[in-house]
Structure 1
Amino acid sequence: MTKDLFVKVKEVEGFDHRPEWYRPLAFGKNIYMNMTYLLPGVEFVMGSAKEKEEELLERVVYTMSGVIEVTHGEETVVLEPHTVFVVPLALGLPFVVKNNAKETAGFIVAMSPPPHPEHPVYTRAELIDIYVTNKRIPKSPTEMEEMIQRGK
């Protein structure tokens, strides 16, 4: 086994995905996983009616900390820590994920297939290069921890 197969979340750089932040944890040919952070008052969309069928991702989300609201169509569900939900592999209404709480929400997202099949990324180093090339500098692990704590 190689040490690259083992990751300590708090030792991973953070990336601004606008509006959420994330730490990439696992890269595979058929799966990808990250730790996503939503600061208080922030929301974003998972899935989209605009996605092409070949770009659809099946996602599993596991809440670790904080509280998030997930709205799909007319239905809203509040997710507390240690709750799982699935974003199905289907075209249709997006899932709106929002943090209405006063602290940062953290949750793990596993996706299959990995996002952006037209530009596969297999390592954290490759992802860092893409962000730096686009003048979006990743936060160090220490900066990420400080940002997460400020949101509490």
Structure 2
Amino acid sequence: MVGRYNKYSRELPQTPWIVEGERKQSTSVQELLSAILNNTIKAQDLKFSSSGREDVDVRCLGVGRPFVIEFINPRHTLLTQTQVAVLQCAVNESTHLVKLRHLQIVDKKDVKYLKEGEEEKTKTYCALCLSTQGYNTAALDKLNELSEVSVEQKTPLRVLH
């Protein structure tokens, strides 16, 4: 199954967050989506993959992040569009932390496009900057003239584990 999800919480990891055997959060996007879907599919196991990642403290808004859930050894494989739509509604009604859209069943060969999209994605960020000492209008004007900025960042300490 593929679709897009929006994440509205700044305290929700994308996947189970376990560091040195200790669980850091009670649930994740992956668990919220897959639990309800797998109640119908009844797969032995599953693989969750998304086009990119977001930190636990970042919301994912806009059109949402593409994802795929591969169900391994599913007992139910033939679902109608109506059944898929009901599953999407069930997930959306079960939590306020995430919402699904465009849920659909695809062939395994179509999953490769999700992976390709992850490598070619251009990211857009927006930041609110505050200063207790005011700001320099000329410096802000220079920043506003930039059309494209490359951001280099170090991996945050919380994910270096």
TM-score (norm 2): 0.29
Specify which structure has the higher proportion of helix. 2
TM-score (norm 1): 0.30
Q: Which has the larger radius of gyration?
A: 2
